[in-house]
Amino acid sequence: MWRNSQQHYGHISITLHWLVALLVFGMFGLGLWMVELDYYHGWYQRAPDLHKSIGITLFDIMVLRLFWRYSNPRPAPLASLASWEKRLSGWLHVFFYPLLFVLMLSGYLISTADGRAIAVFDLFRVPATLTSIPDQEDIAGLVHQWLAYTLIGLVALHALAALKHHFLDRDGTLTRMLRGKP
């Protein structure tokens, strides 16, 4: 089942969810590691280039995921969820999308502040379009850093909630995102 149903997530939604999760955690780890590299480290230039390329790829996947989400209805929440859990889950999911897009926009503003395009895996270039913001690289860098920590914190809460549902409540919340069926 590729598409979502009223009861289950489809394979495309599941794949996009886990792909974004993998890329977000990978980007966070790569970001933490690369800012500690010194000028003479072999990855000093390559790590930021990789981070930028993955970031542009993540942006494309998020656009696809957003399109898929709004063209393919989400399954209804499980009846076993409390009303506050349904509301909190809804708000958290609505918040994830703008948070990720602003995080990626701030990364773009950091990377293009000097007017240079972003080379994406040396396949194509994303041009610099906004370069005249005063202190652009510094401001965007702070925004990027704080949003990254905020995102990881919210993702950790999201993961803990999924584990709570799986191990304590023993409902199908996590299972629906692992294989589609509770």
- Does residue 64 have a pLDDT over 80? yes
pLDDT at 181: 67
pLDDT of residue 112: 97
Burial class (CB in 10 A: 0-12, 13-18, 19+), 149: exposed
In this prediction the pTM is 0.93
Cβ 14 vs Cβ 181: under 8 Å: no
Question: Is pLDDT of 73 > 70?
Answer: yes
Mean of pLDDT values over 141-161: 96
Angle, helices 46-71 vs 11-34, to 10°: value is: 160
Phi then psi for residue 147, to 5 deg, are: -70, -35
Q: Are 126 and 108 in contact (CB under 8 A)?
A: yes
Residues 121-134 pLDDT 10s:
999 999 999 999 99
Which tens digits make up the pLDDT trace of 92-109?
988 999 999 999 999 999
Instruction: Tell me what pLDDT residue 94 has.
Output: 86
In the prediction, which pLDDT does 146 show? 98
**Average pLDDT in the 74-99 region?**
91
Give the start-end residues of each E strand in 118-159: 118-120, 124-126
25 pLDDT tier (thresholds 50, 70, 90): very high
Question: DSSP string of 32-60?
Answer: HHHTT--TTSTTTTHHHHHHHHHHHHHHH
Q: Which residue has 């702070």 as its token pair?
A: 142
pLDDT of 166 above 80: yes
* Cα–Cα distance for residue pair 80/171, rounded to 1 Å: 8
Q: Residue 182: pLDDT above 90?
A: no
126, β-bridge pairs = 118
Please report, for the chain, the start and end positions of each structural domain, with discontinuous segments joined by +: 11-178
Per-residue pLDDT, averaged over 133-158, amounts to 97
pLDDT above 80 (res 180) = no
